[in-house]
Structure 1
Amino acid sequence: MSQESVKLIYEDEYCLVVSKPSNLIVHHSYYARNIEETSLTDLIREQGCLEACPVHRLDRKTSGLILFAKKAEWVADFQKLFENGEIEKKYLALLRGHLEAEGSIDSPVKNDRGNYKDALTKYTCLEHFERAYVIPPYEKQRYSLVELTPITGRMHQLRIHANKIAHPIINDPKYGNRHHNHYFQEVLGIHELFLHAQSLKFKQPFTGELVWLQEPFPDFWNRFLIP
């Protein structure tokens, strides 16, 4: 499989893991019905894996690791890992404000049918930052680099939960803080969402191999982290 368009992180006979860039849809679905651009699934199939199917989803604006089954008939076997809590996903996010060292967010999230479902996210704060950004009413701003571990897998769960505790993810257009988003986009020139699927860990259901993968965050993060 060529890596010219899609960065391949892992591949075996049954599956592959790629690094999805920000602002690329995983596949065309009901939720992306108004987006006519090429999807990540399209690109992978164009590069030779003709039956590749995503096992889980990432929001269009979220970057990072995503698992594909090489054939549709194998998708269910990999999805059982998620259903049984046998796959570990960790994300990095830049949040507004200073968070405590660690904690959990246990708050229901509404699904596409309008029904609330239990949702749980654990977090660990990795680093605090202060920046001399003038965003009224303050002349200095606080941010936290946070590792997020979703225990459940609801749509927009991490973004909703971050907002729920009043520490929204930077550049989240739906659940974020518009004043901080505006500053990052118009002053710093950073338009991407600061949410990155950094790590995947699972036992391959067909081979029994333990697969543990990590992917560094995209370059645009350094424009904040290294001012």
Structure 2
Amino acid sequence: MKNKNLKTGSRRPSQPKTLSFKVKKQEELMVFLIEQLPHKNRNNIKTMLKKRQIVVDGKAVTQYNYLLKPGQKVELATAPAPEAKQMRGISIVYEDKDLIIVNKKAGLLSMATAKEKRETVYSILSSYVKDKNKNNKIFIVHRLDRETSGLMMFAKSEEMQGLLQESWEKTIFERSYLAVIEGQLPEPQGKISSYLFESSAFIVYSRQDPEKGQLAITHYKTVKSNENYSMLKVNLETGRKNQIRVHMQDLGHPIIGDKKYGSTANPIGRLGLHARVLAFNHPITGKKIRFETSIPGSFLKLF
């Protein structure tokens, strides 16, 4: 009798209720949700997206500018998804059978090193996939510095990891960052190229000698500026370790909070670097996928 009651009883309180809406026209998810939820403001909705409470055709979506199509079903859970409560420091932006894209906070290491064994993006995601199936694994595709926030891509198989890393320059068609630097650049936009090499002390140096290191090319454009700081949109033509940080030092305007590469200002208590856009051709489906995060609030407060 006891087991029968468990099977036929009412829904457990821990399972969140959902509201469901049908999409009638093509529009961005934020616009759609504001129309459907007039009692919620943009910040409320962004919080719900971050907590994976918005589900489109059965998949949680965290991007406010996700483009909806007619006929899709949007569901709204009245409580955060269980995994959203567990994964401190990261939020899943996109997931399918091959890939996971996450937005990480500053201060979290991408993966463990010989000297650093604390919780990392890799360890958090590894636990997440193993909770679904103990045989599941996660594979890192690229890294972000500990103090850099923003978008990262992980593969769900070793084959997918290899495929992505081998075709990285062809697969990725947009990868842009926001960098807050000290002062103002003499020219609002430009390009810098040099050859980077890393010393035994793990400091990356920039030279104009091709015999000294790997070619690194960075494009930048000023988007906001005042007498103390400038916010740049930075696009990478190459993806070398510490590339943006070293190139900003080369320009004489280091990234705020970057003591390692010459900064003396730290107004936000972290490195002023955020991986904002990641766009790529899906290696299996061939579909173009683009993700863009919002500008960190701490960056905006400076302007």
TM-score range, shorter-chain basis? 0.7 to 0.9
What residue number does 1:139 align with?
none
Structure 1 residue 112: deviation in Å?
Answer: 6.3
- Which amino acid letter does the alignment assign opposite residue 179 of structure 2? A
The residue number in structure 2 matching 1:54 is 140
May I ask how many residue pairs the two structures share in their alignment?
203
Distance in 2 between residues matched to 1:81 and 1:89, nearest whole Å: 15
The alignment status of 1:90 with 2:190, answered yes or no, reads: no
Which residue of the partner structure matches residue 64 of structure 2? none
* Structure 1 residue 36, shift from structure 2 partner: 2.2
Q: Which residue of 1 aligns with 2:108?
A: 24
2:172, 2:278 within 8 Å by CA — same for their partners in 1?
A: no
Matches within 5 A, 1:79-158: 79-84=165-170, 86-99=172-185, 100-111=187-198, 115-130=212-227, 142-158=228-244
Bigger relative CO (Cα 8 Å, ≥ 6 apart): 1
Q: How far apart, CA to CA, are the structure 2 residues paired with 1:7 and 1:86?
A: 21
Q: Taking structure 1 as reference, are residues 23 and 157 closer, same or farther at Cα in structure 2, changes over 3 Å only?
A: same
CA, structure 1 residues 34+156, in 2 after alignment: closer, same or farther (shift >3 Å)? same
The answer to whether the 8 A contact 1:107-1:119 is kept is yes
Over residues 65-124 of structure 1, what are the superposed CA-to-partner deviations in whole Å (9 max), with x where a residue is unaligned?
000101122101111332446432100010111122210011111146785111100011
Distance 1:111 1:85 in 2: 26
Is the contact made by 2:141 and 2:165 (CA closer than 8 Å) also made in structure 1? yes
Please state whether the residue corresponding to 1:75 is helix, strand or coil: helix
Deviation at 1:14, TM superposition (A): 0.6
Q: Residues of 2 paired with 1:85 and 1:104: CA distance? A: 22
Contact 2:139 2:155 (8 Å CA) reproduced: yes
State the partner residue of 1:202: 280
Query: Are 2:164 and 2:171, in contact at CA under 8 Å, matched by a contact in 1?
Result: no
**Map of 2:93 onto structure 1:** 9
Contact 2:129–2:138 under 8 Å retained in 1:
no
Q: Could you tell me how far 1:223 is from its partner in structure 2?
A: 3.6
Please name the residue that 1:165 is paired with.
251
Output the TM-score relative to the length of structure 2: 0.63
| Structure 2 CA distance for aligned equivalents of residues 66 and 201 of structure 1 | 11
Segment of structure 1 superposing worse, 194-203 or 11-20: 11-20
Aligned: 1:67 with 2:148: no
Structure 1 residue ranges, 4+ long, deviating more than 3 angstroms after superposition? 83-87, 111-115
Contact 2:171 2:281 in 1 (8 A): no
RMSD: 1.9
What amino acid sits opposite 1:15 in the alignment?
A: L
- For 2:220, the aligned partner's letter is Y
TM-score by length of 1: 0.83
Q: Which residue of 63, 68, 76 corresponds with 2:162?
A: 76
Distance in 1 (CA, whole Å) between partners of 2:154 and 2:199 is 23
Q: Which runs of 5+ in 2 are unaligned?
A: 1-81, 131-135, 205-211
Matched residue, 2:123: 42
Structure of larger gyration radius: 2
